[in-house]
Amino acid sequence: MHTHLLTLQGLHSENLAVDGLINSPERRVLRAAGFAQSYLDAGFTTIRDLGNSGYYLDREVSSAIGRGYIPGPRMICSGPIISAIDGQFYQLPFKDYDRITAAEYRVVKSVDDAILAVKEHVNHSAGVIKIASWGERLGLSKAETEAIVKTAHEYHLTVTAHANFDGVIRDAVLAGVDGVEHGYDISDSTLALMAKRKVYLVPTDVSIRQGIEMMKARNMPADSATVKAELQPLGDRLRRAQKAGVMIVGGSDAYIELSVTRGDYAKETIASYVEQGFSVKDALRTSTWNAAKALGQEGRTGVIKPGVAADIVIFNGDLEKTFRKYCSMYMQYLKTGRLFLKANNFF
């Protein structure tokens, strides 16, 4: 429920802006076709793409998949992230800052402009509105966020907010957003508010294995005890969120260049929830039942019953008992079964 098919950030080029500067839209779209295939290979039949996609390149990939030009999962796309004037960029030359930011974000300058931004997204068939409640130095105002939510809801679109700090998350929830992405630093009172207002959380967390991969790629010493200790605060907020009754929705936020495919990376994220104490059933539910609910696709996907899209994966063994093992073996099985994997597009 949280990926970026059109973005690839190198581990040594820390600025998100770099990808769009060194790669043409054509190259980004072709690269995304490979990423899309990897999701199918890993068993993901619907994905939600949340921006950093240039000028609606996410929609270009999504419609190519929908028309059967390339294989891939169904895509729900946000189009450009709606943000304040800083976007999520930093360290850009002052004279080019606005131009570079505007190429990846829908920068909003007033309440009226915020309403127009949502209408542009409706016009370009966005399936969800993604906002950056706080970027690098600036955030959307309360009035702007409220206007975005009101307009999106009028057009039957939900709004999800990139928000990390407790105060920012709280303001976004009070302004009426439907979901919160990341939520790294979140208090129990904000979690209680989210539960009350039925706002879901997408914890874009990493497994111990992913953490080790990331540290290795940065030439940093990596052992599982160190990584485990570093992930502990995230696990703690995940367990607190579950306890508070907040609906947890799976999302990998995959955009960093690593030696694993996007699809495998997303499976690792589900494994991270198990590592942090979720039952296998609850972890799988984050990416099936809960994800469908968050998308407003209940009764169409995310559950096995008559009349629902038959997105079924088959395991040889006991998934609950040996979840970790199947997380990686699963891929091998699917690679030989690729021909059978073609999602029916209903978006």
- Using the rule CB under 5 A, is 253 a contact of Zn ion? yes
- Which residue number, 104 or 311, has a Cβ lying nearer to Zn ion? 104
Q: Which amino acid does the sequence have at 247?
A: M
- Which residue number, 162 or 209, has a Cβ lying nearer to Zn ion? 162
CA distances from 194 to 25, 203, 270, 281 (A): 37, 14, 22, 23
- CB of 183: closest distance to Zn ion in angstroms? 12
Query: In angstroms, rounded to a whole number, what is the distance separating the alpha carbons of residues 252 and 233?
Result: 18
Residue found under tokens 């008992």: 321
Query: In angstroms, rounded to a whole number, what is the distance separating the alpha carbons of residues 124 and 174?
Result: 28
Mark residues 105-124: x for contact with Zn ion by CB under 5 A, - for none.
Answer: --------------------
- CB of 50: closest distance to Zn ion in angstroms? 5
Closest C-alpha to 269, from 184, 330, 211: 211
Stretch that binds Zn ion, among 59-67, 124-132, 245-253, 295-303 (CB under 5 A): 245-253
- CB of 253: closest distance to Zn ion in angstroms? 4
Which residue sits closest to Zn ion, CB atoms considered?
A: 253
- Which residue number, 16 or 70, has a Cβ lying nearer to Zn ion? 16
Stretch that binds Zn ion, among 10-18, 77-85, 246-254, 300-308 (CB under 5 A): 246-254
- Which residue number, 253 or 311, has a Cβ lying nearer to Zn ion? 253
- CB of 329: closest distance to Zn ion in angstroms? 28
Q: Six-digit token pair at 47?
A: 């994905």
Size of the residue set binding Zn ion (CB under 5 A): 1
Q: Which residues contact 88 (CB under 8 A, 6 or more apart)?
A: 16, 81, 105, 132, 135, 136, 162
SS3 at position 20? helix
Residues in contact with Zn ion by the rule CB under 5 A: 253
